Structure 1
């Protein structure tokens, strides 16, 4: 079947192209709106005729099952019905098999006319019909999103109970690595990481217990405040003993509430104090001033009770700061949870207090955790504990984001309350709704910003130094210069810590960057091949190649060196004496010795023999390098016969995506470190990208308003941002893929893995964070 595709600005233009190319008798297979206009798939009438004609001698006009003529522009459904009708007629007209006759003599044998092979024709028709059905089925599935990973992930979130607003925020930018992937497990793992990154949980109980103070458990009736109070007290007693904790109950409405808490307190060996819900807490809390932790069990109150604000005011009016913990019922409907959180937070603000912490209760009674996680994430609450039963203290556990998200997404049965994503389209807001949508979008960006920063802090070595440099760049010039020495020491300490875990490779740039009056700082790569987000500027290092190498050995203890150019003879002698692996980039006209002759590297490339193939990334491309090797000697000064043996490494990089061959590259390395040299080539390519990227960051900081600050601090920050962007572009780990998607979603960019795009997104990330902080202040 010769199916052709036509694209026009509108339906009329697309149909004009169909008639011009295929005539008025063309068969229309499908038409749909696409980006840029209307797309029509059409088939020539003669191609369709070959599919439906059964006998060449029949010239009667073709009739559809409804009796209409088959000429003109027809739909795919009519064509399919017509093909089925002709197929059945062809099978019905197939003659029965004849009995074999005795062969006639050659002279008497008549010339029989050729008979059409109706069985073969029928088989062909059935095949063509199946092909057409497959095509229509594919189009139908595409319209319903069956092959769209975003549609599948949307449906997965909705089935788990996560609402459309948070779903749209999470799926704003799917990583390019997963967009066309057929591995649904990888897509689901990415989705789980996005949810877990936005769910704020404490790292351990020290965040709550070690801080001490006064904690008040608040929430609607029946949510489990009294039982949770006893569970918290029991966990505190197990960590710190019973002397430093006391319990207070204000629940004078519920029969037996005081006695229930007294029983728990007696078992734990702690003091409990009861008072009326309307009474002030000043005197009680004054008597408990020596207690490290006081837990208040408040009276349950509906979120729509008019007395709610007065209750929070009484808790907040005492002389001590009261930290509010909201208990949320995991079995509640999403709208109910939304109402509870909004009402209690408004009451806290009215009482000049804050409500930022919560505890999940009745986990064992909930069918889906998605609605609760949705509400907690969107409102930015910190989830401390999860209660999943009545036993004290066993049925209370510290909140773990990964396990909670995994349980929320592990939903096997469909819900009658979950809509189908393919059946819904979010309407365009207008008027006041547009302002509400804008505020929700800003909150979503804030959550994505925080998730990206948290992930970078946890995985990118030295990222905290970049944050510190950015914050310092916004301060007065005198304070910037006063902090530079301390920043230099912090960089050394962070690099030593990374080196102790897996070793360091130093990247010696040192060359002057085109268009700038500064030199590229010295950088470092961790043992896993990840760039450190810090470096050391030339003016802070000793003068002289050997002196700098000595400094690096004393301060950092690197395991290898990568150089932008061939080291000087003294530096080469130092490296040989220390027997450290090294690799230097070389130019085609650089000369080395071979068989007593000084020859340029370009002339020796044809003499090198194939060594191995290397795969790596460079400037956003996936490359393969067929590495060739040749033994040469350093072209030392005349009269010096102690030139060390070297390995000339050369390769022509090939772009795996386009197949294009790039410019040949050359490297020199010690002959003894053949295996190490292959590993260092990928790191030298990182160093080759840094000058232009650092220059771009330098200019980007000027655009961000940092051009009037200290030049050393600005270069330090530019180099750190360039390192982070380049590390993200090259890293294939899941965390890097997640951060790339988050950064590009904040930037509103196309899915690009270019380091320059990621650098722009990083500057946007820090700028947006400053704006959010300023608005919050």
Structure 2
């Protein structure tokens, strides 16, 4: 019998064809991806018996035969399975020499055993079909990261909770996502000018031969080029290495700066006191192996900087910068950092940061960047040669990670993740991974990354962070701090420094049932995105006209998104001030068309289609078709009625019908969808943006009520204003994360949902739970810091 070929769109389709043709005991010879989908080569069990000439060919196949088709469905992988070399037509007659067929069978069965091992490993990863493509992409990303030199611990932490958007992503998009995660975790000096202007005492420490003396000269040169030579002094404590003092003196003479040599075990405090008039003092220390027993004593000497000046004690704190050899093996770097960090803490303070040296000699930078990330070492500078001062540059995270991820070829020494087969091994690996990624420092790094992103991207999140801890205070303390949080001038300055407000979203007086509060007003940025900066209505001027004036005068708001059609006086006031408006209308709202009063829902069929847009509405993707119709109010004012039909983009099923009223002249002259795609800022585009913003945020009152209810456990007594402020801020952040399509939001959603410890579908409820979890975890880390249990620099970053 011939070897048969089965081709299907997926492995499941191909396996279904195989079983139908050859039964459940067929032997799989190969499995690979082809242009048509997945190809499987297989043969019937009887044919195998004929090939080997077994007299028992027609008997049931022994259980030792490894490649019988499993009765559990096997799914396709993006990576091709090992191929069997013999794919030619197999003679059906048993006339060939038995030994030849036996040898052939042995080779086939050996390769089929390899195939079974691979497929068994894939079966566990294919349990969830929706994640199949993402796992394949992430496996390739995993190999890329490991090949770049990053350690298995950090790689597992990164890939534990990838965004759902990576399910169908290309390798380039997955790599870009990984780079963003690494960038957000890599501490980098953000302001060299501030560092040099402030000055201070810096000690360069590290193992022998790492380049401390040369780096000392390079740092001094950067300062001299900025401030001149008068304010800097160099100190060397290296009395062990022959010529060490003289080498530094040569550099000092070339730069025109002072240099001082300190003998071994001599006190450093008195010398620093004499150098108190120098803005910058750089200490070149003796190089010591991380295994040298004298290391702790040498570092301890750098911790005592107290000296005597005119009978008074003078203290200048010494900031220790650890030099790391970028060309060293990861295990060596790990040992260096742990030893020097331990010694530095014993001397009174953790390491201030790190400088990478010999970057030009390092074939791969993954290991040293991995060390900096996991130990929270802020990278200040990068040294990449011997020239002074040219070969020292400010550390740049993007450049370093690009160099690390684009390292050519594969490393023979790159660590590999254990690839084992079998359910027991898979369970063991999964448990180990979860324990690893849920460790204190791993969670802390993800927490810092998420908080920093939210602070940078969502206007008002910093206010929410300040308000959140107050929920646990006494009622008197809450009220004492509340006025500062609600100070209008401070809030306006915050908006001006982050992003301006372009529109104001006003809700109905009683937007949701079951609560006794009124939904605060929320501003939107120029892109129509919500800002987490609630404005409590009872603290604003009374009345529709008064609030509209306040928004224009105090915040510079041009667009007013109203819950109902404004009155005649308000419309006139907005027209005179150059403001414009858009109001939600009900299906039963009556207007005049062709001289007759009609309800809006009866006029939808008469409206002209204006444009079609995509949006996300109440936690799901939707298609929006906008139509318009000129109508007249009872007072004779001509307006444009807008009709929005929401439908499912795939099934085309109608989801909702929405209605608005707006001034006749503000939109409708062009194609808003085309303007949006082209990035144009036309009036039509601005109107479509405002309309979309009002539509997609109509669930904010419900989100606020959910957050309000969830805050019942935060404290026994909560001030109502504080509770409403926090609840609305939470709702705004959740809505922004659900609506936002940018890469940063995708990353934050993945980190937030991953923090819940289990895979859950994306929804506003899940995002709300995760955001509450994030803020609670922030409190925990701050408490750990107060107890002295936080990671190095981690608590400071959490509280930043």
Shared fold (TM-score, shorter chain, > 0.5): yes
**Does 1:370 pair with 2:379?**
no
Residue number among 234, 239, 253 corresponding to 1:266 in the alignment: 253
Determine the structure 2 residue equivalent to 1:314.
Answer: 301
Determine the structure 2 residue equivalent to 1:67.
Answer: 53
What is the rounded CA distance, in whole Å, between the counterparts of 1:266 and 1:449 in structure 2?
48
What is the RMSD computed on CA atoms of the aligned residues?
3.8
Residue number among 322, 330, 336 corresponding to 1:340 in the alignment: 336
- Shift in CA distance, 314/521, structure 1 to aligned 2, threshold 3 Å: same
Structure exhibiting the larger radius of gyration computed from Cα positions: 1
What is the rounded CA distance, in whole Å, between the counterparts of 1:439 and 1:78 in structure 2?
38
Determine the structure 2 residue equivalent to 1:716.
Answer: 725
Contact 1:629 1:649 in 2 (8 A): yes
- Shift in CA distance, 453/61, structure 1 to aligned 2, threshold 3 Å: closer
**Does 1:171 pair with 2:159?**
yes
Moved more, 446-455 or 349-358: 349-358
Contact 2:156 2:437 in 1 (8 A): no
Determine the structure 1 residue equivalent to 2:770.
Answer: 761
Determine the structure 2 residue equivalent to 1:732.
Answer: 741
- Shift in CA distance, 582/204, structure 1 to aligned 2, threshold 3 Å: same
Determine the structure 1 residue equivalent to 2:553.
Answer: 554
What is the rounded CA distance, in whole Å, between the counterparts of 2:621 and 2:281 in structure 1?
59
Q: For residue 559 of structure 1, report the CA deviation from its aligned partner.
A: 2.3
Tell me the SS of whatever aligns to 1:412.
coil
What is the rounded CA distance, in whole Å, between the counterparts of 1:366 and 1:287 in structure 2?
40
Contact 2:753 2:760 in 1 (8 A): yes
- Shift in CA distance, 613/70, structure 1 to aligned 2, threshold 3 Å: farther
Determine the structure 1 residue equivalent to 2:450.
Answer: 452
Tell me the SS of whatever aligns to 1:347.
helix
Q: Deviations over 1:480-519 (max 9, x none)?
A: 323334323222223344565xx51111114323211111
Residue number among 681, 699, 714 corresponding to 1:689 in the alignment: 699
What is the rounded CA distance, in whole Å, between the counterparts of 1:230 and 1:379 in structure 2?
27
Determine the structure 1 residue equivalent to 2:671.
Answer: none
Q: For residue 706 of structure 1, report the CA deviation from its aligned partner.
A: 4.0
Q: For residue 723 of structure 1, report the CA deviation from its aligned partner.
A: 1.0
- Shift in CA distance, 706/644, structure 1 to aligned 2, threshold 3 Å: farther
- Taking the TM superposition and a 5 Å limit, the aligned residue runs for 1:148-547 are 148-181=136-169, 183-319=170-306, 320-421=316-417, 423=419, 437=435, 441-488=439-486, 489=488, 490-497=490-497, 500=500, 504-512=502-510, 513-547=512-546
**Does 1:609 pair with 2:608?**
yes
What is the rounded CA distance, in whole Å, between the counterparts of 2:21 and 2:573 in structure 1?
80
Q: For residue 462 of structure 1, report the CA deviation from its aligned partner.
A: 2.3
Q: For residue 655 of structure 1, report the CA deviation from its aligned partner.
A: 1.6
Q: Deviations over 1:583-623 (max 9, x none)?
A: 22211111111123222112222222222212111112111
Determine the structure 2 residue equivalent to 1:646.
Answer: 639
What is the rounded CA distance, in whole Å, between the counterparts of 2:706 and 2:329 in structure 1?
50
Moved more, 652-661 or 217-226: 652-661
Tell me the SS of whatever aligns to 1:151.
helix
What is the rounded CA distance, in whole Å, between the counterparts of 1:4 and 1:357 in structure 2?
54
Tell me the SS of whatever aligns to 2:504.
strand
- Taking the TM superposition and a 5 Å limit, the aligned residue runs for 1:735-754 are 735-750=744-759, 752-754=761-763
Gaps of 5+ in 1: 8-16, 32-40, 54-59, 93-131
Number of equivalenced pairs: 691
Q: For residue 25 of structure 1, report the CA deviation from its aligned partner.
A: 5.2
Moved more, 381-390 or 706-715: 706-715
What is the rounded CA distance, in whole Å, between the counterparts of 1:178 and 1:434 in structure 2?
24
Tell me the SS of whatever aligns to 1:326.
strand
Q: Deviations over 1:154-184 (max 9, x none)?
A: 1111000101100011111111111222x21
TM-score (norm 1): 0.81
- Shift in CA distance, 651/528, structure 1 to aligned 2, threshold 3 Å: closer
Contact 1:151 1:422 in 2 (8 A): no
- Taking the TM superposition and a 5 Å limit, the aligned residue runs for 1:550-589 are 550-589=549-588
Q: For residue 540 of structure 1, report the CA deviation from its aligned partner.
A: 1.0
TM-score (norm 2): 0.79
Contact 2:459 2:499 in 1 (8 A): no
Tell me the SS of whatever aligns to 1:669.
strand
- Shift in CA distance, 321/52, structure 1 to aligned 2, threshold 3 Å: closer
Moved more, 441-450 or 754-763: 754-763
- Shift in CA distance, 238/474, structure 1 to aligned 2, threshold 3 Å: farther
- Taking the TM superposition and a 5 Å limit, the aligned residue runs for 1:640-679 are 640=635, 643-674=636-667, 675=684, 676-679=686-689
Moved more, 733-742 or 470-479: 470-479
- Taking the TM superposition and a 5 Å limit, the aligned residue runs for 1:25-104 are 26-28=24-26, 64-68=50-54, 69=57
What is the rounded CA distance, in whole Å, between the counterparts of 2:735 and 2:435 in structure 1?
34
Q: Deviations over 1:653-710 (max 9, x none)?
A: 112245432122212122212224432221012330201111112222323x145232
- Shift in CA distance, 593/350, structure 1 to aligned 2, threshold 3 Å: same
Tell me the SS of whatever aligns to 1:202.
coil
- Shift in CA distance, 78/540, structure 1 to aligned 2, threshold 3 Å: closer
What is the rounded CA distance, in whole Å, between the counterparts of 2:397 and 2:763 in structure 1?
31
Contact 1:388 1:395 in 2 (8 A): yes
Q: For residue 755 of structure 1, report the CA deviation from its aligned partner.
A: 2.4
Tell me the SS of whatever aligns to 1:348.
helix
Contact 2:647 2:656 in 1 (8 A): no
Contact 1:24 1:73 in 2 (8 A): no
Q: Deviations over 1:329-373 (max 9, x none)?
A: 111110100101111111122222221411111101111101101
- Shift in CA distance, 285/757, structure 1 to aligned 2, threshold 3 Å: same
Determine the structure 1 residue equivalent to 2:630.
Answer: 631
